[in-house]
Amino acid sequence: LIPRLAREAAADLAREMVRWLEARGHTGVVEEEAGVPGAPSAPGCEIAARADLLVVLGGDGTLIHAAGLCDNREVPILGVNMGALGFLTEVPRERAFPLLEKALNGELPISRRLMLDVEVRYRDQVLLSGTVLNDAVVSKNALSRLATLEVMIDSRPATTYEADGLIVATPTGSTAYSLSAAGPIVVPALDAVLLTPICPHALTQRPLVLTPSSVVRVRLGSPSEMFVTLDGARGRPLEIGQEVWIQRSNRRTLILRNPEVDHFTILREKLRWGTR
């Protein structure tokens, strides 16, 4: 069980789920970092290393955190919405236990979400590496000037962005930061890689959708103060001449779907998509 940090309602539900699971012959363990008293706990990485199912009690950020805990394992994740938006955590609080029972019985559909492997490189050195479910973002640091970002796709020059930054996103991440930067909405069942510039200084520099096999290299070509962020959780400064390499990961995030809603219902209800 991966509850949202500092949310008492999530802690209460975690304790209730532990008792519910034990009554049915299962073992429920709560992520230690959440600090939930009165429930068995262990470090999140240890839980993900041996769990048959991860239950997220929080919002989209908590689910992305749980996906990062899985490392090289593909563990099904059931998301119970205890946050504000709950775009990825599709299960409402009042339906948590009926759908948890279906999950334990293997009765819920699985969405296998594309992930991206990301490396920040300088010459032969790897300065930062990680795998993202949503996006890798190159963005301005404080008091930075417009950046020159040279993009290569499959080792061929593609374009040069004069912009505040660049978002490289998955279809799952298409409804996150990329959407705020006027990127396209891509259904998560489609494998693709999205390039969305942040405030480009040209009307011709538009978002781009690439094949999932594309290898993207982003090189900082100006002395701007930039920063690379992986899923909003990890990052480092990006300096002139350094490159960000992005490609499809062999890993997938397995999200258990709520059969009572579909993707377009979520778009309408959560993002007010199509409303006038």
Catalytic sites, residue numbers: 60
**Around Cβ 10, how many Cβ atoms within 10 Å?**
25
Scanning the structure block, which residue is given the tokens 């199912």? Answer: 53
d(CA 61, CA 82): 11
Are 229 and 223 in contact by the 8 Å Cβ rule? The answer is no
**258 Cβ contact partners less than 8 Å away, ≥ 6 residues apart:** 90, 91, 95, 99, 108
For 137, list phi and psi in degrees, rounded to 5: -120, 125
Q: Residue 80: enclosing H or E segment and its boundaries?
A: strand 77-81
Tokens standing for 42? 């262990």
DSSP of 180-246: HTTPPP--TTS--EEEEEES-SSTT---EEE-TT--EEEEE-S---EEEEETTTEEEEE-TT-EEEE
Looking at residue 265, the DSSP 8-state letter turns out to be: H
Q: Residue 10: enclosing H or E segment and its boundaries?
A: helix 8-23
**Around Cβ 258, how many Cβ atoms within 10 Å?**
22
Q: Residue 159: enclosing H or E segment and its boundaries?
A: strand 156-163
165: left (phi over 0), alpha (psi -120 to 50) or beta: left
